[in-house]
Structure formats: structure tokens, C-alpha cells
Amino acid sequence: MPRYFFDIHDGINKRDEVGTVCDDIQAAALEAKRLLPSIASDEIPKDGERQTITVVVTDENGHAVYSAALTYVGTWLLR
């Protein structure tokens, strides 16, 4: 089974050096989608109202094969 790497971009680039074995590219894409909410729960901006977290999936050859992003936007409603 192929190994895929899940690099995180959230203002700081975090390279996945270990990777995860997945059945196929669709399974790797699903894993990227599952990672986003868990990352977001730890990374909600403490000093601003906007942040985008991106997971870029690369294959064993270093080719980017999938990208998933989650954007947080907070808006004050007080006047």
C-alpha cells in the first residue's frame, strides 16, 4: 500500500516526515479531510478573527496529489 504525507500550512509550514499508509488516493483525501477539524480545534486564532488551515497531501514521489483547506472567520456583531 502507498504512503502519503500530510503537510500542514497554518501560518507555519509543518512537513510530515513520517507519512501514513493509505489504501489509495481516495483514502488519503479522506484522511486529509478528517485531519482538518482536529487541527482547527487546537489552532483557532487567539489573536485574530481569520485563519486558513491547509493540508497538502503528497505521494511517495513528492508529488502533491490533493489539498484540503478549512477557513475560520469570526465577525463581531456589536455596534
**pLDDT tens for each residue of 39-72:** 888 777 666 788 899 999 999 999 999 999 999 8
- Work out the average pLDDT over 8-13: 89
Q: What is the pTM of this model?
A: 0.85
CA–CA distance, 29 with 14 (Å, rounded to integer) = 18
Q: What pLDDT score does 7 carry?
A: 97
Q: What pLDDT score does 76 carry?
A: 86
CA–CA distance, 16 with 4 (Å, rounded to integer) = 9
- Work out the average pLDDT over 28-39: 93
